[in-house]
Amino acid sequence: MLAKLAGVKLRARAVMEGVLSGLHKSPHQGQSVEFSEHKEYAPGDELRHLDWKAFGKLDRYYVKRYEHETNLKATLVVDASGSMGYRSGPLSKLEVATTLAGTLAYLLVRQQDAVGVSVVTRAGAADIPPRAAAGHLHTVLDALDTLQPSGGTDLFAAADHLAERVRRGQLVLVFSDLFDDRDEALARLLALRARRNDLGLFHVLDPAELEFPFDDPTLFLSLEDERRIEVNAREIRESYLEELQAFLDRTRAACAEADVDYTVVRTDEPLDAVLLRFLGRRLRRAA
Amino acid sequence: MTFAQPWLLLGALAALIPLAIHLFDRRKPRPHPFAAIAFVLRSQRRTASRLKLKRIILYTLRTLILLAIPIALARPELRRPGAAVSKAVGPAATVVVVDRGLAMRFVDGESLFEKARSEARSALATLGPEDPVTVLPCGPEVVPPTAPGLDRSEARQTLDRMRPAWSTADLARCFEVAARTLEESPTAGKRIVVVSAFTAGSLRLETPLPTVRGPNDKRVRPEMVLRDVARGRKVLPNHFLSAVKAEPAPQAGARAVQVAFTVRNVSDAPAKEIQATVELGGRVVGKTFLELTPGGTAQKTLTVRAEVGGPVAGAVILSPDGLAEDDRRDFVVQVPRELRALVVNGSPSPVRYRDEVFFLEAALSAPSSPIRPVVKDASAGLREPLDGYDVVVLANVPAPVPEEAARLKAFVERGGGLLVSVGDKVEPEPWNARMGELLPRPMRLVKAAGAESGAGDGRQAKLGEVRWGDPLFAPFSGRGREGLMGARFQRYMLVEGGARSDGSEVLAAYDDGAPAFITTRRGRGRVLLFTSTLDRDWGDFAIRTSYLPLVQRAAAWLAGALDEREALEGRVGQTLTLRPDPQAQVTSVRAPSGVVVQARLETDHGLRVGPLPEPGLYQTFDSGGQLVPGSQFAVTLDPADSDLTRLDEGQLQAYFGEEAVRGPGGTADRRVPIWTWLVVTAAMAFFAEGLLLRKP
């Protein structure tokens, strides 16, 4: 159904609704806007947050302050390399990545957090700095909506770029298939965690990449460069799956070691469930 | 290898299908853009060599399947020589008995003898290093071998020296000798390996198998291992000359020889277009063709003509078969020489039938006669030089003058023959006086018989006692003998009673005991006295049927030609007694191959020669090493040895026991069906292919 919705905005909203409905069912609902402290009223504060009970006791105006008012800044990093354009089902990996990013942008903006976007390709990076304004959401979603897959994956460059542009302590959520041939690329990306950035990694993979369901002799063409190879897919399937599993295991282990939230996203699974899983883990960590 | 359905082998071409598919049916791969191509590349690199090997194995397996199935359907079978059962546990003393009999000369692509030698070498090679062994070449005669030893080279040398014999081997005798040889060995195990074609003639099945002394002095049978060099053949097909008889055929003309021969076909197939060639004096003089049914016999008689008289060597030769040695048979025939006879007519007459030599001349000059008579009257004949004549006939001739008598005596002593017949011109006194040294016995007087005698019964004389065994009368039998005995004589000359020391022999006598034919030797020649007339004056002998052959034979006998006809023939392996002319001084005899044959002079002056080692023409030599002309003789194979019928499986099993004859394979080719293995191979290949395909 999600695939029938054109554009990131619609898909993200649909996913968000699922997430929100899921959140209502959660025993941890509302925890994200938890009361933090009282603050003496100053002009410009929202009147709805006035604590009338305190006024009655103390005859002074105080307003309640909540956690979301801690001013969270998040950067959504979307890999828009050519490989992200692959699809075996209705949605490409890039569409899934942008939908997830858009949904999270909705959620973050909804709770007054600043959200920005960084699109990385081998050609370079395009950034929208994080802002909390409601109108900023449209900017973010428009940027995600116009993304087209192209070029190769360069996690090295992306990590260096983020290290320069993202301030310490920011939430960084990366949406990528991590198909970078260099072994050190992932380590460089995870190094952001050492800069006290809260890092989350959405590893977006297509079911065909995970299962390799090919039988006939196939000429595989690279989506990022001129590489091509003719193989009997059935003959190498076992070996391919072993290689891929080893890659996933390495990635998962590296993320665990770096205390990075790692989520494997199949492009054919419900994205709200993915996000609920993600949010649930984060709430548990925060608790 | 043999195939029951060879045409199905065409299906083996299907083995090319995998190759054709590989070459021509390369499917175009489907292009597919793929993100995780790095993993595909890595997997391909990792599995490339394994996949290549797998493809090769798959290709091989598929080819194998497609090759094995049609070959299996063609039902191939391997023919393997049977190996013998080995019962011996531990070392066993072994005697390898190798048949070298005549049958082993049979050529079946390769001679059975060479096959036997190879089999014997193979048997030596299969023995364990601790098996003492010796080789016993088994022929008609058996020489005990050396004791079994561990030195294989001696056994191999024995095999190398071995030669095929000309007679059938005596396997039973060889087994006995082998068993005795085994008993000499201290090794506990005893084994006899028999390499033979197992023809019926080589093994007397009624003879029990030999035993050897076993543990506790009990007699046990040694282990018998059979190696059949004629595996797979029920019979060794052989046609051969079973008999050849060559004799002069005077009725067919001068120097005519009648050659009668018998050919047998011992085979389960007919023998067609067998050419038989007759040679005389090294020249082909006759040819004929024979057709023989399986197991059949054919007889042929050819009349041929020799170029010269005297002893002539000849042969009958058949178109060769597997055993060519018995397809030729040599013989020596005494071709009647042309004899010249001087007939001295003592009582010529203008009336021909009353002439003294009318009947004699007619008999001697008959068309089939080898004698060429020259008739002279008494005055001319007695003065005629005698050197050109073989025989002189004095027919009712008055007593020669002393000079003439001396010439006659010299003629006889040189080897000439003299026939004297009497008549009214012959007066005993002058004859006895001048020719007494030549006459067998002195003449006495003329005796009249029958009506002329004045006796009451009037019975004419006839021959009473005849030495039928003498060469002169030997041919007379049956009616011929009756014809001779029917002759009647009214008169005949009585002779003095002879002493045993004078050397005269009465060959025939009248019924009153008076000699009719008396002979004696004078020098190298012979003298024959006929005591009646050669015409009808004193009897009717001249018009009897026996007259012609008798006078011809008498002339030939006197010239020594009858002695020459007694050609000898011997058999291989036997001994032969020659009776050569004492003056020839024969001292040695050589076989056709040049081998000097043992010859021993016996007390009766006979020369005992033998055992005769081989067939063919043998020559005799005098003490100076010179060839003695006319003394050659032929030696032939025993026809019984040419019967190469083989003992069948059942007979061998019954004789040697089933443990020695390992089923049909023991003496025949073991047929090993390999198509079942091919089916199994194809099934296994199919299974392996499935496994490979199942596991990517």
pLDDT tens digits along B389-438: 999 999 999 999 999 999 999 999 988 999 999 999 999 999 999 998 89
Enter the pTM of the model. 0.49
B531 pLDDT more than 50: yes
Q: Are B34 and A222 inside 8 Å of each other by CB?
A: yes
- Which of A136-140, A264-268, A280-284, B372-376 is the least confident region? A280-284
Domain with CATH 3.40.50.880 in chain B: 339-563
What pLDDT is stored for residue B516 in this prediction?
A: 94
Task: Give the mean model confidence (pLDDT) for residues A176-198.
Answer: 84
- Strand B223-228, strand B189-196: pairing: parallel
3 state SS of B337? coil
What pLDDT is stored for residue B297 in this prediction?
A: 92
Query: CA B160 to CA B609: how far, in whole Å?
Result: 29
Q: Which residue of B has its CA nearest to A149?
A: B35
Phi, psi (degrees; rounded to nearest 5) at B101: -70, 180
The strand order across the sheet containing A171-176 reads: A124-131, A114-121, A73-79, A171-176, A198-205, A261-266
What element of type H or E holds B692? helix B675-694
Cross-chain CB nearest to A229 (options B33, B40, B51) = B40
Q: Which residue of B has its CA nearest to A150?
A: B35
Task: Give the mean model confidence (pLDDT) for residues B236-259.
Answer: 84
B151 pLDDT more than 50: yes
Alpha helices in chain A (DSSP H): 8-24, 52-58, 93-110, 134-145, 155-165, 184-190, 207-211, 233-257, 271-286
pLDDT band at B627; cut points 50, 70, 90: confident
Task: Give the mean model confidence (pLDDT) for residues B366-385.
Answer: 87
What pLDDT is stored for residue B205 in this prediction?
A: 83
Q: Which residue of A has its CA nearest to B30?
A: A218
Q: Positive or negative CA dihedral for A16, A17, A18, A21? A: positive
Positions of E strands within B10-75? 30-34
Q: Are B35 and A177 inside 8 Å of each other by CB?
A: yes
Orientation angle between helical segments A233-257 and B37-73, nearest 10 degrees: 150
Q: Are B46 and A239 inside 8 Å of each other by CB?
A: yes
Task: Give the mean model confidence (pLDDT) for residues B60-69.
Answer: 88
What pLDDT is stored for residue A23 in this prediction?
A: 55
Q: Are B43 and A240 inside 8 Å of each other by CB?
A: yes
CA distances from A213 to A35, A258, B257 (A): 51, 33, 104
B338 pLDDT more than 60: yes
Residue B422's identity, in one-letter code, is V
Q: Where are the domains of chain A?
A: 2-25+71-286, 35-67
Distance from CA of B27 to the nearest CA of A (A): 8
Domain with CATH 2.60.40.10 in chain B: 238-336
What pLDDT is stored for residue B672 in this prediction?
A: 65
Task: Give the mean model confidence (pLDDT) for residues B268-279.
Answer: 91
Distance from CA of B51 to the nearest CA of A (A): 8
Q: Choose the mutation target among B21, B22, B37, B695 for the interface with A, i.e. most A CBs under 10 Å.
A: B37
In the stretch 5-34 of chain B, residues with CB closer than 8 A to chain A read 27, 29-34
Cross-chain CB nearest to A179 (options B38, B41, B696) = B38
What pLDDT is stored for residue B666 in this prediction?
A: 38
Query: CA A247 to CA B43: how far, in whole Å?
Result: 13
Q: Which of the two residues, B269 and A8, has the higher pLDDT score?
A: B269
- Decide if B494 contacts B428 (C-beta within 8 A): no
Q: Which fold has domain A2-25+71-286?
A: Rossmann fold (3.40.50)
Residue B100's identity, in one-letter code, is R
Task: Give the mean model confidence (pLDDT) for residues B566-588.
Answer: 78
Task: Give the mean model confidence (pLDDT) for residues B486-503.
Answer: 82
Interface of A with B (CB under 8 A): 82-86, 93, 177, 179, 181, 206, 208-209, 214, 216-223, 227-232, 234-240, 242-244, 247
Cross-chain CB nearest to B40 (options A85, A177, A220) = A220
Q: Which residue of B has its CA nearest to A180?
A: B38
Q: List, for residues A122-133, the tens digit of each pLDDT value.
A: 777 778 888 877
Q: Are B696 and A234 inside 8 Å of each other by CB?
A: yes
Q: What DSSP line would sit under A71-125, residue for residue?
A: --EEEEEEE-SGGGG--SSSS-HHHHHHHHHHHHHHHHHHTT-EEEEEEEETTEE
Task: Give the mean model confidence (pLDDT) for residues B560-564.
Answer: 67
Q: Which tokens sit at B133?
A: 């062994």
CATH 2.60.40.10 fits B238-336, yes or no: yes
Chain A within 8 Å of B43 (Cβ-Cβ)? yes
Q: Which residue of B has its CA nearest to A151?
A: B35
Chain A within 8 Å of B595 (Cβ-Cβ)? no
pLDDT band at B508; cut points 50, 70, 90: very high
Residue B494's identity, in one-letter code, is L
Q: Which tokens sit at B678?
A: 């091919």
What pLDDT is stored for residue B117 in this prediction?
A: 92
**Residue B658 falls in which region: left (phi positive, over 0), alpha (psi -120 to 50) or beta:** alpha
Average pLDDT across chain A, whole number:
82
Cross-chain CB nearest to A218 (options B32, B43, B51) = B32
**Residue B659 falls in which region: left (phi positive, over 0), alpha (psi -120 to 50) or beta:** alpha
Q: List, for residues A69-122, the tens digit of each pLDDT value.
A: 546 888 999 998 899 999 998 889 999 999 999 988 888 887 778 889 998 877
Chain A within 8 Å of B414 (Cβ-Cβ)? no
Q: Which tokens sit at A131?
A: 């802002």
Distance from CA of A196 to the nearest CA of B (A): 32
What pLDDT is stored for residue B501 in this prediction?
A: 60
Write b or e for each residue in A235-245: b if 16 or more Cβ atoms lie within 10 A of its Cβ, otherwise e: bbbebbeebbe
Q: Which of the two residues, B137 and B309, has the higher pLDDT score?
A: B137
Tokens 């970078």 correspond to A180
- Which residues of chain A are within 8 Å of residue B30 when distances are taken between CB atoms? 216-219
CATH number of B339-563: 3.40.50.880
Cross-chain CB nearest to B33 (options A216, A223, A235) = A223
Query: CA B180 to CA B97: how far, in whole Å?
Result: 13
CATH code matching the domain that covers B569-636, chosen among 1.10.20, 2.60.40, 2.160.20, 1.10.10: 2.60.40
Q: List, for residues A3-45, the tens digit of each pLDDT value.
A: 555 566 777 777 767 666 655 443 333 344 566 678 888 887 7
Distance from CA of A222 to the nearest CA of B (A): 6
Q: Which fold has domain B92-235+644-668?
A: Rossmann fold (3.40.50)
Residue B533's identity, in one-letter code, is T
3 state SS of B67? helix
Cross-chain CB nearest to A239 (options B29, B37, B47) = B47
Average pLDDT across chain B, whole number:
85
What pLDDT is stored for residue A4 in this prediction?
A: 55
- Which residues of chain A are within 8 Å of residue B692 when distances are taken between CB atoms? none
What pLDDT is stored for residue A71 in this prediction?
A: 63
pLDDT band at B663; cut points 50, 70, 90: very low
Q: Are A221 and B34 inside 8 Å of each other by CB?
A: yes
Distance from CA of B24 to the nearest CA of A (A): 16
Q: How crowded is the C-beta side of A220, counted as CA atoms within 13 Å?
A: 27
Task: Give the mean model confidence (pLDDT) for residues A159-175.
Answer: 86
Chain A within 8 Å of B275 (Cβ-Cβ)? no
Burial of A138 (0-12, 13-18, 19+ CB in 10 A): middle
Q: Are B34 and A230 inside 8 Å of each other by CB?
A: no
